[in-house]
Amino acid sequence: MEKQFNARTNWRNTLKLAYGQTHQQERNAAGDLFWPRPDKTDDMIDFESMFRWTRDNGWDPFVAFNFTSMFSDQSDAAGRTIDFNPKSFKESFGMSRTLVDTDERRVNMRFGLAAIQNMRKFFLNPAPDSETDSKSSTGLAAEMVTEYAAQVLEDRVQWDSKLTLTLPFMYSGKETFEDEVNLAAEGLPEDLADYGTALDVDWENTFTTQITSLISVKLFVRWVYDKYDNTVAPVVENGSLVNAAD
């Protein structure tokens, strides 16, 4: 949803929700069919709100807020789940510019600084105990976002693309790796402390075609490169790392 309040102010809200499961029968040792727990195929909550001040010179200051999470965290090996985990909050500001704006295509780019807060719950004890605790981490990053929209295949398909490059220059978990963990003794890479400040890449592409006036079909393709999952704050006990990022 986007609204141009006047010649100088623009407010845009974007919400992406996705959840999917695959459920198929299997046979047990006796040869009988049964329905196991479904496998999760998609899970995304992504909300962004951006306020932009439009200026005559084309360089528009902006502030933005972003929230990401999942409906159900099923990463536990014992099959336990945690709802809305992990959670990531991001506040950013900077400058944006529309590079191309025609009937056929639109290209917008923005760059700035972002403050990031992550919170993740985890189970304290082995199953079936369900008690959880949470750890948080923070970071500061430089960020560049490029958005592209165009009509392709003779205007039969709408292509929307978003490329986000995030370069953290501060991560609160870095000192834990440097000061509290013997990386060599743990068999971990010696430069693991630098993983949290490596470049992250997130490239989203949505292809939409209208079948009838009421029915449309969408294909969503996403490519992510994340050297270290910063939502997993390092937990150290007696000099040993007891949790690890995906």
**What one-character DSSP code corresponds to residue 244?**
-
Q: What pLDDT is recorded for position 109?
A: 97
Q: pLDDT by residue (tens digit) across 212-237?
A: 888 999 999 999 999 888 777 776 66
Please give the share of the chain, as a percent, with pLDDT higher than 70.
Answer: 95
Q: pLDDT by residue (tens digit) across 149-206?
A: 999 998 899 999 999 999 999 999 888 777 777 777 777 788 888 888 999 999 999 9
Give the separation between CA 113 and CA 13, rounded to whole angstroms: 19
Q: What pLDDT is recorded for position 237?
A: 67
Q: What pTM was computed for the model?
A: 0.85
Domain residue ranges of the chain, discontinuous segments joined by +: 2-20+40-241
Close Cβ partners of 54 (under 8 Å, ≥ 6 residues apart): 4, 7, 8, 9, 10, 60
Q: What pLDDT is recorded for position 246?
A: 47
Please give the average per-residue pLDDT across 20-39, as a whole number: 87
> Would you place residue 243 in the very low, low, confident or very high pLDDT band (cuts 50, 70, 90)?
low
The residue type found at 179 is: D
Please give the average per-residue pLDDT across 112-136, as a whole number: 92
Q: What pLDDT is recorded for position 73?
A: 92
Q: What pLDDT is recorded for position 144?
A: 98
CATH number at 2-20+40-241? 2.40.160
76-82 contacts, C-beta under 8 A, 24 or more apart: 76/123, 76/127, 78/126, 78/127, 78/128, 79/37, 79/127, 80/123, 80/127, 80/128, 80/130, 82/121, 82/122, 82/123, 82/132
The residue type found at 144 is: M
Please give the share of the chain, as a percent, with pLDDT higher than 90.
Answer: 56
**Average pLDDT of the residues of the chain:** 89
Q: What pLDDT is recorded for position 238?
A: 62
Q: What pLDDT is recorded for position 176?
A: 79
Q: What pLDDT is recorded for position 98?
A: 93
Residue bearing the bigger pLDDT, 82 or 188: 82
For strands 72-73 and 33-34, give the pairing. unpaired
Please give the average per-residue pLDDT across 71-92, as a whole number: 93
